[in-house]
Amino acid sequence: MKKSRKLICRDFLGTTAAAAASPLFSDRWWGGESPGTFLKAAPVNQTIRLGGVALRAGKNVDYDPEKVKIPNVPEANEFLTRTYKKGWEL
């Protein structure tokens, strides 16, 4: 039976998050918390992506993570998301 993209993605993310959170996984391989944990990777990824948004906007941006908006450069907000082609929506 063929799985949908959403189901495969959900399975992968759930499995990966469960493995990363498992003390057996971390202790066995790293002797503690993994240096590449998702908890550390998420803020780094967000910073890099916001750098790309600032470059595209051509201005310094102030990001409000609670509202997921850039209040000082409203036109830069369009770079925070994308429009997916039909059939590729998330």
Per run of 10 residues, the mean pLDDT along the chain (length 90 residues) is 48 54 55 70 86 93 90 93 86
Cα dihedral sign, 25-29-31-33: negative
Q: What is the pLDDT of residue 65?
A: 85
Q: Could you tell me if 42 and 76 lie in one domain? A: yes
Residue written as token pair 């990777």:
41
Q: What is the pLDDT of residue 8?
A: 45
Domain containing 7: what range?
1-33
62 falls within a domain: yes
Q: Could you tell me if 18 and 57 lie in one domain? A: no
Q: What is the pLDDT of residue 32?
A: 63
Q: Could you tell me if 22 and 47 lie in one domain? A: no
The rounded distance, in Å, linking the Cα atoms of 64 and 80 is: 12
Q: What is the pLDDT of residue 53?
A: 93
- In this structure, the number of other CB atoms found within 10 A of the CB of residue 1 comes to 2
Q: Could you tell me if 56 and 25 lie in one domain? A: no
Q: What is the pLDDT of residue 74?
A: 94
